[in-house]
Structure 1
Amino acid sequence: MESKFNPKQIEEKVLNFWSDRSIYKLSVQKNQKGPLFRFIDGPPYTTGAIHLGTAWNKVMKDTILRYKRLQGYNVRDQPGYDMHGLPIEVKVEEDLKIRTKKEIEERIGVDKFVEHCRKFALDNLWIMNKQFARLGVWMDWENPYMTIKDSYIEGAWWALKEAYGKGALYLGPGSVTWCARCSTALAKHELEYENVKDNSIFVKFALEGKKNEFVIIWTTTPWTLPANMGVAVNPDFMYSKLKVDNEFWYVAKDMAAALLGAMGRKFEIVENISGEKMHGWKYTHPFADEIELQKKLEKENKKAHTVLAVGDDVFPNFVTLQAGSGLVHTAPGAGPEDFIVGKHFGIPAVTLIDETGTFTKDAGKFAGLRAKKDDAKFVEHLKNKGMIVHEAVVEHEYPHCWRCKKPVVYRVTDQWYIGVTKLRSKMISENKKIKWTPDWAGDRWFHSWLENLQDWCISRQRYWGIPLPIWVCQKCKHTKLIGSREELGVKVKELHRPWIDNVVLKCEKCKSEMKRVPDVLDVWLDSGAAPWASLPFPEGGKKILDKWFPTDFIIEGKDQIRGWFNSLMSLSMVSHGKPSFKSVYMHGFVSDANGMKMSKSLGNIVSPDQVIEKHGSEAFRLYCIKGEAGEDLRFNWKDVEESYKALN
């Protein structure tokens, strides 16, 4: 025995001993008749080598599972991997030097692209398996659940079939968040907010029938102005008619002094009027001369281009006094909140951009410009028309695609949704029964998320994912949802695109051809189905489900409030009628010693391999389990050194 602890030598000996003697398998066999401990592994994306956060998470899981084994429990310890979706597609696009979605179909071919995605995901899975095992983590590494397997896909299809049968799955139009670079819809939980600097402009819209009178709106998204259909006021606010030089401007009374002061403009209050009385005022669209479609829409809809009194009964806090002028530019085709307001008042949602974020011919003079990217050109055009009364640069949060990191836009498209909003109150009630550690993670954070839950857009216009199992008759539009390969009734190489796209069914109603809706599922639905799709279910029947479902315990980081915890709860509630987990441990993030996020640009990344090479796995494991629930782990070498010394 060495006099000094040499982690590299000792750990290699221990790992070899475990492997040679099948110690892990013996420990599993020993507890086969013990009480069950139902655990489900939150699957990491197979996008590359593990990072410190992933390693910390797995060490925490391993610590708890080992403790349960020592107590005699028959522990379900199957590791899992998330192997579909944009996380994989974007990486493969980088490898293949693909710049646009169009290239996948025209230059690469969907079949070859999918095969590249599969190989990339599998190669990384085995790399990650070895890294986790080197950390000393005991899981069933020979039998991980993989979201790309047909059996797993059938588990997700089964859940959709259940939701469909309950009327909780529907096709509907909506103003959805859209990634122009990836050319697909995104859900709320797929957005990352970053601080950006944008043009903040105050624009005057001329009121019709009122000489030299204007409503003043404010926006940080000039690209949405071509789609403007209304100006919202709060019916409970007072608005001032201000004399500014030879013009009359309407702004919120409580914002007038500060706003005009910032502009350096002198003004005189002529009168005050309630927002309620402004409802129905007609104004001229700022681009009426440039966009012929806007003139057409105004002729067809009397409420188009009018002032709308939007109270909390229509949409809470749609018009506030926090920023701007107290009058809100409203474009139902360029934002989900605006879409709801537009639907309430019966004004149309105009989409003037295509799937690449490029303005179409319907945008008239602006055809060919790009949403968000060409904001400055819209500002310049408004300046030339003398419509901008104030301009500034503001720093604010703006949503970005979680995978390609590009700013998102909004457009109206038909998408498939899971109607979780109707289950919101039941989810909140069920959440109170779940044991959360720390308790505030469930009582405050997850509760707040559930309170603001909206219907889940699950369709994605991509290639590498679980195919949406919906076929539509080309003649009578009859729709059929398939819940399994057996129900499909057609031999197919596998359930992925493009092979599943070639399956044509016969319509039960009119005997015409039924073709599949060419979408794949939100990748978060993949992992949301894990508690049952990772089992031999539905193939294994209800007996296997009753044995291992719902899960006793899960453990993940705080980012999963809006991610995995959300998809687990939502999908299980619409398919099983109850949550899929009974207790949760939530940990924080790993940052550097100063609390900064680790990133290549900051040069502060530390890999698990570096830690193992210097101090060994056991020192890192001991270091990992010292933190408090819900708190971030500020990585520093000194504390790892202390853990190393404690083992020596």
Structure 2
Amino acid sequence: MLSSKKEYHHMLPDRYNFREAEPRLASFWREAGLYAFEPHGPTFVIDTPPPTVSGALHIGHCFSYTQTDVIARFQRMRGKQVFYPMGFDDNGLPTERFAEETLRRKATEMDPQAFIAQCRVLSERTEDDFEALWRRLGLSVDWRYRYSTISPQAQRISQWSFIQLYRAGRVYAQPAPTLWCPECRTAIAQADVDDALLPTLFSTLAFRLANGDVLPIATTRPELLPACVAIFVHPADERYRHLIGSMATIESAAFAEQERIEVPILADEMADPGKGSGAVMCCTFGDSTDIRWWRAHHLPLRAAIGRDGRMTELAGPCAGLKVAEARKRILSALASQNLLLGQETIEHNVGIHERCGTPVEYLHTRQWFIRVLDQKERFLAAGRKIRWNPEYMRSRYEHWVENLQWDWCISRQRYLGVPFPAWRCRACGELLLADLEQLPIDPRTTEPARPCSCGSTDFAPELDVMDTWATSSCSPFLIGRWIDDPAWFAQIFPTDLRPQAHDIIRTWAFYTIVKSLYHTGEIPWKEIMISGHALSASRSKISKSKQHKEPSPAELLERESADALRYWATSVKVGTDTFLNMETVAAGRRLVNKLWNASRFAEGRLEDFAGASAIPATLLPADRWLLSRLGRVIAYATQQLEKGEYAAQRAEVEHFFWSDLCDNYLELTKMRLYGEPGPARAAAQWTLYHALLTALKLLAPYLPYVTDEIYQQFLSRWDGARSIHVSAWPTEHPEWVDLQAEEVGNALLELLRKVRRYKADRGLSVGAELDCLHIEASSALLTALSAARLDIRSATRARTIVFDDGEHVGVLDEQAQERLVLKLG
């Protein structure tokens, strides 16, 4: 019979109110400077992704940034000084487009400086909102180091990088075929282009040969006829070999400033005999093949499409039309003149600007480039020095590097961005770079500090701005104070971890590796952890710039709690895409409640706990079993998080907490925990304390709020830290692992399962008493089980327990109404 004790008054309330606790704890962490980085001792540095300021944060951000925070919290509890800064990418096209949508005006319709000022105001307000959400989610960021990629410090580092690369011969400017977005009216890099499978017409046109015969030419871009400069055939194609060197013409007054287009027929092995008619137009420019032919064969340049995406004067009657309109008009005119031999609808890959979804064009414009094509092997070798998590993501990086076709275009024809620190002399054309001491500088508003070498002081400023990736790729330099604090930089660089999503491997990861190698000769980070995406109901990536129906993070935080949302975010393996699964969020909420209720139970049983001194000598079989399991869980959890495998770690800890600790150990030891003081109760108290504290610590990186609330209100009196998040990570105890204890423990669990099944089959409650429990097992197992008699009675509610080794039967209660005979082992 359980001892009657004076009722214990809990410090932990009956229910956990996350709406009250989470904001309160977030304020405490902030005021206490709990996550402040101090540059001494062992460090762990995270090169955190600066989210673009292009709309509201969404559930996908909570998904990936929580995964990073788990690693940060783990390393902090491991005794590392964690440098975990947060930045915001607010210096480029995404922010401009966000401002245009917010203001409902195009940048081209406003004074440039007024537009930039509006962008700055909007960015600052949005970044404050971002920070508030990150704090509410529980990210353990040191907000003293918050940065912006349009800040003077970021501009200075970006301009410094540009000047150093220019002096090293890695940067150049030249007129060249360039990827161009007609909607955003700017050059873009190869990495800014996505592929989209779109329907289009594959039209066969009738060119004429000198003898009057028809030469069929199939194309998806008839609007580029005014820019046609040649026709190519394969040199081994017997159908056309005799035509190489001759001319072909097409006549129509509907599509060009001249009525007749006459071009040479040339041979090149890139012409595909099996595609269309085998003869193909080369226009300047329809695709990258056209560019290669134009360069290799020294063809003329004819620009039929302008920077605004409309046809140029070269298109004659079609001048001023948008590309799609011109295409329809030209096809209609060709059909009316019997020059359209056939059409079929096909689907083909079209390059679109990933920012706005507009099909890109290839225009001949002057741009700034960083040389990368001549260094592919170096970039591949650097990628292999970095640990990729998951490992297979490295192949995506290598595939990108191996298939690069362009040097990195870093100039943009926009307003909001880091200016190029350069002027060009109007007298002699020489480029003059700013002095390093002048940085940051805007050449559009500031004159050079010295005259040109020719003596002139008449300069034209560089009007373009840098691509946002040219600044974001400097993030390790920015957080490392690269050019201002060599001692700090030596401690910060290379960073330990770069977390990022897989869609920006080709941009942020690649460009950062490029900059790091060019400036330091080293890789920028030791490990890169690639997150997946949160997907919408339509199976597409949730993004700030696209409409989606998923609830906002603020709504979910208020409705479900930060801990429950973080639980969902860490439920899949690294690199895996997933949907917002409200059942998983609900499972997180149940875990939070179970932690709370188990802790309230433990609080009542530990009111006279003597403290976490040396391991008791009087441990019973159930205690030794649980400690052995706990020793394994600590070792596994630590190993998995060292590898960044947060999902596997949490699943194992969660199983230990639910099954081993709550469902089984607490049931086995309730009699001892409720009983009178003594060695048996002290052993259960000691085991319960260590198991609960360890489970809370192992789950603290995932569920930071509820674990810290329990710790501060209950367990810190013995463990001693001001917060669970700056307490010590559980120490591995290989001496706790005991195979024999686990065998006995497994026998106890088998016994519990059989008793529970027996009661369930008869409609009895779990707490129903049994008259007699008859246990048959080997002599060795019975010896251990007999030492657990009190715990067996606690879990089974058996009045009488008989142990039988098959030879010596114990005294049976012949009057028992309910007798259960179990065979174990």
CA drift at 1:53: 1.2
Q: Which residue of 2 aligns with 1:550?
A: 494
Q: Which residue of 2 aligns with 1:156?
A: 158
CA drift at 1:517: 1.4
Relative to structure 1, is the Cα distance of residues 293 and 522 closer, same or farther in structure 2, using a 3 angstrom cutoff? Answer: farther
Tell me if structure 1 keeps the 8 A contact 2:187–2:413.
yes
Using the alignment, how far apart are the partners of 2:123 and 2:409 within structure 1? 25
Using the alignment, how far apart are the partners of 1:53 and 1:602 within structure 2? 13
Secondary structure class of the residue paired with 2:74 = helix
1:447 maps to 2:447: no
* Unmatched runs of 5 consecutive residues or more in structure 1: 239-271, 299-304, 312-317, 489-493
CA drift at 1:569: 1.9
1:46 maps to 2:57: no
Among 508, 514, 519, the alignment partner of 1:575 is 519
Q: Which residue of 2 aligns with 1:173?
A: 175
Secondary structure class of the residue paired with 1:506 = coil
Tell me if structure 2 keeps the 8 A contact 1:177–1:408.
yes
Q: Which residue of 2 aligns with 1:77?
A: 84
CA drift at 1:440: 1.2
Using the alignment, how far apart are the partners of 1:459 and 1:572 within structure 2? 20
CA drift at 1:571: 2.5
1:193 maps to 2:195: yes
Among 400, 404, 411, the alignment partner of 2:352 is 400
CA drift at 1:597: 4.2
Using the alignment, how far apart are the partners of 2:123 and 2:273 within structure 1? 49
Secondary structure class of the residue paired with 1:8 = helix
Relative to structure 1, is the Cα distance of residues 294 and 151 closer, same or farther in structure 2, using a 3 angstrom cutoff? Answer: farther
> For this pair of structures, how many residues does the alignment match?
580
Q: Which residue of 1 aligns with 2:99?
A: 92
Q: Which residue of 2 aligns with 1:233?
A: 233
Using the alignment, how far apart are the partners of 1:510 and 1:132 within structure 2? 54
Secondary structure class of the residue paired with 1:415 = strand
Q: Which residue of 2 aligns with 1:5?
A: 16
Relative to structure 1, is the Cα distance of residues 544 and 142 closer, same or farther in structure 2, using a 3 angstrom cutoff? Answer: closer
Relative to structure 1, is the Cα distance of residues 364 and 641 closer, same or farther in structure 2, using a 3 angstrom cutoff? Answer: same
Q: Which residue of 2 aligns with 1:479?
A: 431
Task: Please say which of residues 86-95 and 565-574 is displaced more in the overlay.
Answer: 565-574
1:222 maps to 2:233: no
CA drift at 1:276: 5.5
Using the alignment, how far apart are the partners of 1:461 and 1:197 within structure 2? 30
1:529 maps to 2:474: yes
Using the alignment, how far apart are the partners of 2:403 and 2:319 within structure 1? 36
Tell me if structure 2 keeps the 8 A contact 1:78–1:144.
yes
Which amino acid in the other structure matches residue 177 of structure 2?
A: S
Relative to structure 1, is the Cα distance of residues 294 and 386 closer, same or farther in structure 2, using a 3 angstrom cutoff? Answer: closer
Which amino acid in the other structure matches residue 13 of structure 2?
A: E
Among 374, 383, 386, the alignment partner of 1:434 is 386
Relative to structure 1, is the Cα distance of residues 176 and 322 closer, same or farther in structure 2, using a 3 angstrom cutoff? Answer: farther
Among 366, 388, 391, the alignment partner of 2:318 is 366
CA drift at 1:290: 5.6
Secondary structure class of the residue paired with 2:429 = coil
Using the alignment, how far apart are the partners of 2:44 and 2:325 within structure 1? 52
Using the alignment, how far apart are the partners of 1:592 and 1:455 within structure 2? 34
Relative to structure 1, is the Cα distance of residues 201 and 157 closer, same or farther in structure 2, using a 3 angstrom cutoff? Answer: same
Tell me if structure 1 keeps the 8 A contact 2:58–2:553.
yes
Secondary structure class of the residue paired with 2:482 = coil
CA drift at 1:459: 0.9
CA drift at 1:413: 0.9
Using the alignment, how far apart are the partners of 1:400 and 1:183 within structure 2? 13
Secondary structure class of the residue paired with 1:436 = strand
Secondary structure class of the residue paired with 1:83 = coil
Relative to structure 1, is the Cα distance of residues 566 and 603 closer, same or farther in structure 2, using a 3 angstrom cutoff? Answer: closer
Which amino acid in the other structure matches residue 159 of structure 1?
A: S
Among 351, 365, 369, the alignment partner of 1:413 is 365
Q: Which residue of 2 aligns with 1:210?
A: 211
CA drift at 1:546: 2.6
Which amino acid in the other structure matches residue 155 of structure 1?
A: I
Using the alignment, how far apart are the partners of 1:499 and 1:153 within structure 2? 15
Using the alignment, how far apart are the partners of 1:596 and 1:179 within structure 2? 23
Q: Which residue of 2 aligns with 1:15?
A: 26
User: Deviation digits for residues 506-554 of structure 1, max 9, x if unmatched?
Assistant: 21234342222100011111101111133333233x4333322222211
Q: Which residue of 2 aligns with 1:263?
A: none
Q: Which residue of 2 aligns with 1:308?
A: 266
Tell me if structure 2 keeps the 8 A contact 1:176–1:335.
no
Relative to structure 1, is the Cα distance of residues 288 and 427 closer, same or farther in structure 2, using a 3 angstrom cutoff? Answer: farther
User: More helix by proportion, 1 or 2?
Assistant: 2
Relative to structure 1, is the Cα distance of residues 151 and 597 closer, same or farther in structure 2, using a 3 angstrom cutoff? Answer: closer
Task: Please say which of residues 176-185 and 148-157 is displaced more in the overlay.
Answer: 176-185
Relative to structure 1, is the Cα distance of residues 289 and 597 closer, same or farther in structure 2, using a 3 angstrom cutoff? Answer: closer
Secondary structure class of the residue paired with 1:604 = coil
Among 318, 331, 344, the alignment partner of 2:283 is 331
1:7-156 aligned at under 5 Å gives the runs 7-25=18-36, 28-29=37-38, 32-99=39-106, 102-103=108-109, 108-156=110-158
Relative to structure 1, is the Cα distance of residues 56 and 321 closer, same or farther in structure 2, using a 3 angstrom cutoff? Answer: farther
Using the alignment, how far apart are the partners of 1:402 and 1:616 within structure 2? 33
Using the alignment, how far apart are the partners of 2:493 and 2:582 within structure 1? 41
CA drift at 1:130: 0.4
Using the alignment, how far apart are the partners of 1:125 and 1:196 within structure 2? 36
Secondary structure class of the residue paired with 1:23 = coil
Which amino acid in the other structure matches residue 128 of structure 1?
A: F
Tell me if structure 2 keeps the 8 A contact 1:171–1:415.
yes
CA drift at 1:451: 0.4
Among 565, 570, 579, the alignment partner of 1:625 is 570
Tell me if structure 2 keeps the 8 A contact 1:334–1:412.
no
Relative to structure 1, is the Cα distance of residues 482 and 573 closer, same or farther in structure 2, using a 3 angstrom cutoff? Answer: farther
CA drift at 1:564: 0.9
CA drift at 1:572: 2.5
* Unmatched runs of 5 consecutive residues or more in structure 2: 1-11, 594-825
Secondary structure class of the residue paired with 2:143 = coil
CA drift at 1:286: 5.1
Using the alignment, how far apart are the partners of 1:603 and 1:56 within structure 2? 16
1:319 maps to 2:319: no
Q: Which residue of 2 aligns with 1:349?
A: 301
Tell me if structure 1 keeps the 8 A contact 2:443–2:462.
no
Which amino acid in the other structure matches residue 80 of structure 2?
A: Y
Tell me if structure 1 keeps the 8 A contact 2:420–2:442.
no
Tell me if structure 1 keeps the 8 A contact 2:421–2:442.
no
Using the alignment, how far apart are the partners of 1:601 and 1:437 within structure 2? 28
Secondary structure class of the residue paired with 2:345 = strand
Rg larger in structure: 2
Secondary structure class of the residue paired with 2:323 = coil
Using the alignment, how far apart are the partners of 2:96 and 2:444 within structure 1? 15
Using the alignment, how far apart are the partners of 1:122 and 1:509 within structure 2? 44
Which amino acid in the other structure matches residue 310 of structure 1?
A: D
Using the alignment, how far apart are the partners of 1:319 and 1:373 within structure 2? 29
CA drift at 1:418: 0.8
TM-score by length of 2: 0.66
Tell me if structure 2 keeps the 8 A contact 1:399–1:407.
yes
Secondary structure class of the residue paired with 2:400 = helix
Tell me if structure 2 keeps the 8 A contact 1:505–1:513.
no
Q: Which residue of 1 aligns with 2:327?
A: 375
Tell me if structure 1 keeps the 8 A contact 2:68–2:499.
yes
Among 551, 557, 577, the alignment partner of 1:606 is 551
Using the alignment, how far apart are the partners of 1:582 and 1:638 within structure 2? 36
Tell me if structure 2 keeps the 8 A contact 1:187–1:457.
yes
Which amino acid in the other structure matches residue 210 of structure 1?
A: N
Q: Percent identity?
A: 27
User: Deviation digits for residues 213-243 of structure 1, max 9, x if unmatched?
Assistant: 31x222222222211111222334x3xxxxx
Which amino acid in the other structure matches residue 123 of structure 2?
A: A
Which amino acid in the other structure matches residue 445 of structure 2?
A: W
